[in-house]
Amino acid sequence: MVSNTVLTTGLLLILTGLWGVLTHRNILRIIIGFSLIGTGTHIVAVAIGYVKNGTAPIIDRVLNMSEAPSRAVDPVPSALVVTAIVIGMAVTAIMLAYTIRLYDSKKTLSIDAFTESKW
């Protein structure tokens, strides 16, 4: 039940981000849309790894080694999301760097001003 809610939230975030990317004309808002898509994907991935009544896959006083396989959540999506967050941040940095250069060339942040590569 928990993961259903989380999964729906993540999917709605992806949709919101997609809508933002497609409708807004300001490049910074488009980048925020891409960030929302990325965050939604991370939430969806973590939600898919949830196991009913599971806990974090860290062996300590609460979770001993013998019962871990039956009570821990899936560690693979969590490990993937750790790397995906870092890569998402890197992609955002590159997008922002290009935005600064685009602003330098046309003195505007509107995507409508950049018509050279439009088909």
Distances, alpha carbon 62 to alpha carbons 2, 19, 40, 76, in Å: 21, 43, 30, 21
Q: Please tell me whether residue 15 binds another protein under the rule CB under 8 A.
A: yes
CA angle 34, 20, 16 (to 5 degrees): 85
Angle between helices 75-106 and 27-48 in degrees, nearest 10: 180
Q: Which is nearer to another protein, 63 or 116 (CB)?
A: 63
Q: Which is nearer to another protein, 100 or 116 (CB)?
A: 100
What is the binding site for another protein (CB under 8 A)? Answer: 1, 3-4, 7-8, 11, 14-15, 18-19, 22-23, 48-52, 56-60, 65, 68-70, 72, 74-76, 78-79, 82-83, 85-87, 89-91, 93-94, 96-98, 100-101, 104
